[in-house]
Structure 1
Amino acid sequence: MIVELYRDRQPNQETFCRIDPLHVKALAFDMQGTLLDFYSTLIRSGNELMCGKGLNVDWTKIPDRWRQAYRLHLDEMIAGQRPWSSTDAIYRMALDSILHDCAWGSALTIDDRDQLSRAWSCLDPWPDTRPGLQRLRGKFKVATLSNGSMASVVNIVQKHDLPFHCVLTSELVRSSKPDQKVYGLAQVALGLRAEEIVMVACHKYDLLAAKRFGFKVAFIPRPLELGPRGSPDAGREDYFDAMAPSLLVLAELLSPEHAEDRERSDPGTP
């Protein structure tokens, strides 16, 4: 069902590109939400556990609450109000805080909670993720730049055979995006100038921080990131250098032979 909805929401989305691919050498990708469908994975994992325990729970409300609790913990850590922890540990703590307020939460054992939390290390990719990466890696270096733990991102890349040249996460600098240190990590690890790297994400805070660091930025809206009833912010911003409804379209826009198409697709180009 989620795949059909995904396909239905792709047409007629705004597309443009102001990036000269001849001046780009690498693309850095956000993972959760941008390349990975966390909502569907968490719903499936939660429903399977609930059914196995005989609990009648509307699990569709949990992923959004879980992400919000995770973000709160993460922001407190970035602000220095909490000691550094891996995102795996933060997700696990955030789950406990959610379940504390659920009447049925006490029915879930420590093992149950650990099982649920491990779902973040097994997220499924969007339908365009692998084929889009495959096309892009033929022209550019492609690397992850995720807030996920190294263990979780490596596991996902291996499980789904995602064709990255390099796996980078904020854990390597003991911080999280949008901390500028994370974008600095990518620049140093890839051995490039900031303007030679494109940050690809569906989260505007990530792209804005990357832009301030000096990266080019490409927005990939994911209308189903928060599920069929979610409404993520998918509007165009002036600081975007490119916007495409999928990685496959982005790969086309970044092909040198599509220079004229890029100019025609950008309403801001005279």
Structure 2
Amino acid sequence: MSDIHPSAVIEEGARIGADVRIGPFCHVGPDVTLGDGVELRSHVVVTGLTSIGAGTQVFPGAVLGEIPQDLKFSGEQTRVEVGERNRIREHVTINAGTAGGGGLTRVGDDCLLMAGCHVAHDCHVGNRVIIVNQAVMGGHCIIGDDAIIGGMSALHQFVRVGRGAMIGGMSGVERDVIPYGLVQGERAGLEGLNLVGLKRRGLPREDIHALRAAFRDLGAEGGSFQERAQKVAETYQSDQVREIVEFILGATDRSFLTPR
């Protein structure tokens, strides 16, 4: 019962779910899987070993699953997985993974990828993430749930952005961003906490106070950033503070943006 425009090209082998709508001049490759209710508006290319979850909308000019922009790529079979109920706006590009990076580029559920943004090879984007117009990320970036990436921002390869963080528009992010952090600037700095986002999600006042105190202690003088994080973990009993500490003490290929 899917609705496929006669000008669309659906290659043999593609798996199309129920109630899928494919508009004019779309191209769907032979190894593509489209879940129930997926909509490709028009002039959309979905290629490679790519799956798109139920209810996701893809707008004109988007290209999902093309080979990575990585000179080390030698034609190995790698994947793109896009979750459910996403809105992928005009001219978004999501590249397939590389063998050296785990072979998978993934976008979670309920995300909004605005016009012209780029998700590079081996990036993992969480759930409910908003990536604003023309924002780009290098390979291997990890974006936590509920993060917001401002318009025309650029993330260096291997950067991690923690859950609930917010990156202001036109920011250049070269180092990891802690959960719930607020980042901005041409060479981005950690300016504070994303308090607006925390309040919108209904975080209790006492937890916000604990986060603010922990953030202040992270920016104190003396010891390494990791040592201060360990001390914070011993001082504050808060799930959100614990999440920040685990993020700081976890494995990473980058250094951290620290409180100014």
TM tier, smaller: under 0.3
Higher relative contact order structure (alpha carbons within 8 Å, sequence separation ≥ 6): 1
TM-score by length of 2: 0.24
TM-score by length of 1: 0.24
Q: Greater share of strand residues, 1 or 2?
A: 2
